Structure 1
Amino acid sequence: MDDCAQERPLFTFGVIADIQYANIDDGYNYSRSRRRYYRSSLQLLRNAQESWSESAVKPEFILQLGDIIDGFNKGHNASERALDTVLREFSSSPVEVHHVWGNHEFYNFSRSSLLGSKLNSTLHTDRSLSETRPGPEIYAYHFSPFPGFTFVVLDAYDVSLLGREESSEQYKSAMNVIRQYNNNEDLNCPPACEGLEQRFTMFNGGFSKEQLDWLDSVLSSADDKREKVTIVSHLPVHPCSTDPICLAWNFNELLAIIRSHSSVVCFMAGHDHDGGYVKDKDTGVHHLTLEGVIETPPDSNAFGTVSVYEDRMVLKGSGRTRDRVFLFP
């Protein structure tokens, strides 16, 4: 361990998920089983920012894994104000932030407004990122912070009822998917069955064929270059890394693509506030679901700093987020 402590990483990055800030009193989750700390989530973000700014090795970038503000903001006409408040905290340091989109982004904003907003990292970070996307309406791109390493941001609500006009073909297609499994009047209520079909709710979504084909080509290129790829998404895609109710609709299709490529080393997601982890037994790919800030008490924390080396990534967690070592397959 002493040798590890003295070895300088190639680069580091910060990771945080499900801040869900709103300027309202504490509340509870959908089933009223977990407390949610809407206001104090901002202080927990400040704690993370302070930790990253004081690190001996400054992070190259931050991964914000989605649900940056809570859907309750919409009902209070406070979506823009809440987003500005959180982004102001992120801008307190010069570190580049890569924003992932979750369900709460779509509770607050339309897809078209998100594409033109500060949450579209392809507009506000490296300009070349906008040229690496699968389509004009799909929020997915890749970037390389260091030679030999690529990060891919995926759009887990590309196929979804959220963020789509009810008259659109995308909405109708998503409704056809969800209605095969969920007959509830309230589509946020999971199907009565147990098991993986519980994922077919309105607060989840999936990946279109266009996005999957694009990912396949990105990974093929990374295979050829012998790069190490980390994929990030709001929704987890491995059934053992999350509660089934938080899985992407077509997780199996995305897993099949990952398993057909040698370049992928890690998949990071949010959405399940309890967090989770599994190492895929077939590929050795690490699937990390990060604990959510929103359900973290004010006297704790939920964020991590990842140090990247030639043969591994080391997650130094804070509060509810535990330390982990991800050896590359």
Structure 2
Amino acid sequence: MEFCEPSLFSFGIIADVQYADIDDESNFKQTRKRYYRNSLKLLQNAIDAWIVEKVKPSFILQLGDIIDAFNKTHDASQSALDTVLRECERGPPMHFVWGNHEFYNFSRDTLLSSALNSKCHSGHLLDNHDFYAYHFSPAPKFRFVLIDSYDMAIIGHDESSAKYQHSLKYLKNHNSNEDLNCPPALSGLELRFAKFNGGFSQDQLRWLDEVLTKADEMQEKVTIASHLPVHPLATEPMSLAWNYPELLSLLQAHRSVVCYMAGHDHEGGYHRDETTGIHHLTLEGVVETPPDSQAYGTVYVYEDRMVVKGNGRMRDREMMYPDRLAG
């Protein structure tokens, strides 16, 4: 895909690096190989490419699971994180989303005090709440919002906390299996009710509603980033957020929203909401990308559209803004 006109700005996108210094293994469903060591090389290659782009991306969105859970098993969580962060520091500023593998390796308190807390370390707007979410504006009339899809979850929260107890009750209302990592059904949307997923608290939904209401009033174009997808046609059911219908309805109610980006489903996915025109883009996972390929993209932002220049498994896309923005 060739670009004949300069963009207003650009940014990089990448997800599910899941680096670990261990041998390759098959994934959870035994359908694809995971290249744990090579994922670091693919991250290095992506950053090298961003550094030498003619117009350097303004920032990078890293959509969660930057290291793998196996690091915890090998007592290598911090060393693995240090390894990937050394690479990340070479490139444009990076905004980190937290996924399930972040919580397999670290407590929420540890993450809050780490370099993965880009809410704290990036110097952008800080919001006083107990979930990991924030927003920033890289250019006039454009806003990016990072939200916490494990705000309601049983990973990452202390078992004595009210949020853990509420989340456990919510999950058990939908999943009666002794092993909550085992989905409650063999097919269908019920597959999402598993321990490795999570959702959005009512407090976070109210906060997001307020952010988007202001963006509507300011006639901004908003891109939302999280780890878990929220549209069933942009991912497999097992990768959806628990209470995705609530989040999806909220997005549909605000004309400022143009795109929702997520990771988690390593095969990737895409759907444009027929009613609102919102683009739902699920990124292909680096860890399941063969050594001779790649899985990252650069997004070029224009007045009327965003254009994804994909690499390797990630395809090019032109995403026109919804007509309702003019309403």
Q: Is the 8 A contact 1:313 1:325 kept in 2?
A: yes
Q: Distance in 2 between matches of 1:205 and 1:122?
A: 20
Alignment check: 8 A CA contact 1:236 1:270 kept = yes
CA deviation string 1:269-307 (max 9, x = no partner): 000000000000010000000000010001100000000
- Find runs of 4+ consecutive structure 1 residues off by over 4 angstroms: none
In structure 2, what is the Cα distance between the partners aligned to 1:183 and 1:247?
A: 19
- May I ask how many residue pairs the two structures share in their alignment? 322
Which of 25, 44, 47 is 1:46 aligned to? 44
What is the CA distance between 1:5 and its match in structure 2? 2.2
8 Å CA contact 1:134, 1:141 repeated in 2 = no
- Report what 2:27 is aligned to: 29
Q: Secondary structure at the match of 1:305?
A: strand
**Aligned ranges for residues 92-107 of structure 1 at < 5 Å?**
92-93=90-91, 95-107=92-104
Q: How far, CA to CA, are the matches of 1:186 and 1:201 in structure 2?
A: 9
Q: Distance in 2 between matches of 1:166 and 1:5?
A: 51
Instruction: Determine the structure 2 residue equivalent to 1:156.
Output: 149
Q: Which residue of 2 aligns with 1:190?
A: 183
Q: Separation in 2 of the partners of 1:261 and 1:8?
A: 29
Deviations 1:37-59 (A, max 9, x none): 00000000011111111111110
TM-score, with length taken from structure 2: 0.97
Structure 1 equivalent of residue 314 of structure 2: 321
Instruction: Say if 1:134 and 1:211, in contact at 8 Å, map to a contact too.
Output: no
Residue 186 (structure 1) shift: 1.5
**2:170: which partner in 1?**
177
* 1:250 partnered with 2:248: no
Q: Does 1:235 find its partner at 2:228?
A: yes
Distance 1:5 1:171 in 2: 48
Question: Which residue of 1 is the match for residue 325 of structure 2?
Answer: none
Provide the C-alpha distance between the structure 1 equivalents of 2:145 and 2:297, rounded to a whole number of angstroms: 19
Root mean square deviation of aligned Cα:
1.0
Which residue of the other structure, out of 252, 256, 260, is the alignment partner of 1:263? 256
Counterpart of 1:112? 109
2: CA distance, partners of 1:277 / 1:192? 24
- Match status 1:290 vs 2:283: yes
Equivalent residue number for residue 79 of structure 1: 77
Quick one: distance in 2 between partners of 1:216 and 1:168? 25
Instruction: Name the residue aligned to 1:129.
Output: 125
Q: CA deviation at 1:175?
A: 0.9
Deviation, 1:188, is 1.1
How far off its partner does 1:118 sit? 0.4
Deviates more, 1:219-228 or 1:117-126: 117-126
- Relative distance call for 1:160 and 1:190 in structure 2 (3 A) is same
Residue 309 of structure 1: how far off its partner (Å)? 0.2
Matches within 5 A, 1:297-308: 297-308=290-301
Whichever residue aligns with residue 26 of structure 1, its letter is: D
Q: Does the 8 Å CA contact 2:119/2:133 hold for their aligned counterparts?
A: no
Q: CA shift at 1:134, angstroms?
A: 5.4
- The CA deviation at 1:193 is 4.6
